[in-house]
Chain A
Amino acid sequence: MHEYSIVQSLVDSVAAAVPSGAIVQRIEVRIGEVAGVDCALLATAYEVFRAGTLCERAPMTIERIPARWECPRCGGAIAPGAFLRCTSCNEPAHLAAGDEIVLQRIELEVA
């Protein structure tokens, strides 16, 4: 389970982004369906880990991004569960969305 090490990197990323003295009120992350991160485990890990950090008062919102495979030539979508190759162009599909592990937004209270 690597979600704890991702939370460690997340809190480090927040610390690097906010000005000193600012109070973090909320954070938003985007996690892709095939990014290899379990959202429930990530949420649990965050709740455990954030105590005593600058994220202590900041609930986390997770936006889960569905996987979207497309043909790199014609842009046609590949149906979930189908072979990852375009039936028209015979091109291997390209992952257009769904591998995100992104800190999207931080809400701050600035004194």
Chain B
Amino acid sequence: MCTTEKPTPLEIQTRILARNDDTAAHNRMHFLERGIFAVNVMGSPGSGKTAVLEATARAFNGRGIAALAGDLATDNDAQRLIRAGIRSRAITTGQACHLDAELVHHELHHLDLAGIDYLFIENVGNLVCPAVYDLGQSANVVVLSVTEGEDKPLKYPTMFAKADLVLVTKIDLLPYLPTDLDAIQDALARVMPDPRVILLSAREGFGIDSWLAWLTKCRSAMEVMA
């Protein structure tokens, strides 16, 4: 037999993250079967993701909600959420800058989901990498604090393009800052097709009612689909 000199092309056209996407689909089915509305909570380090979830835990009186908290190291955020009264487990990623569907799937086996209506997956603080990995969530929520600068959405368009909701946090600090909320809205409208924004102060409780109403509405819509 002769050796072919000309290379043989294979037209593949396969998603490089297909394995992650398959695991994410498995997670999603797991959530839908149990009526759990899963939220991928993303944002910069220090944007207030854990503070929002602590306020959410208090607002729900700790009932019906659970959380996974991703960080490179420490289980500090999971411990904060346990102290706020909810079931929570840490996912420590080592050097990885994002959660993936397999990490979430593995940790789900260690989290009691009986009676849980909402699962919050607090991603690693990062406005780039977490946007790339589907975890099986029903919604993406990006936490953007008023101290970060109005043009953050323009600098990180992929993250915001994938967001279903943006929580603009720490608004109790607005009297001390030059931050222009209209400029944030303008930036969001250039990277998000249907920008939905809730202004929130986890510390003072402002906006928590709107956030809970959004969650409740989304979960109801999910149950209709399931």
Contact = CB atoms under 8 A, between A and B. Distances in A.
Same complex origin of A and B: yes
Interface of A: 1-2, 5-6, 9-10, 12-13, 17-18, 22, 25-26, 29, 34-37, 69, 81-85, 92-95, 101-111
Contact of B12 (A1, A85, A95, A104): A104
Interface string B107-138: 00000000000000000000011011100000
Interface of B: 3-4, 7-20, 96-98, 100, 128-129, 131-133, 157-159, 161, 189-194
Please give me the 7 A-B residue pairs with the lowest Cβ-Cβ distance, nearest first: A92-B193, A2-B129, A92-B194, A107-B7, A36-B158, A36-B132, A84-B193
B contact patch SS: mixed
A110 B192 CA distance: 47
Nearest to B4: A110
B72 to A, nearest CB: 13
Given A9-B19, A36-B129, A85-B189, A102 B7 contact: no
24 contacts: A1-B129, A2-B96, A2-B132, A2-B133, A5-B96, A6-B16, A22-B8, A26-B7, A36-B128, A36-B131, A69-B193, A83-B189, A83-B190, A85-B189, A95-B161, A102-B16, A103-B13, A104-B12, A106-B9, A107-B7, A109-B4, A109-B7, A109-B8, A110-B8
A11 to B, nearest CB: 10
Contacts of A10: 16
B5 to A, nearest CB: 9
A contact patch SS: mixed
A18 B100 CA distance: 26
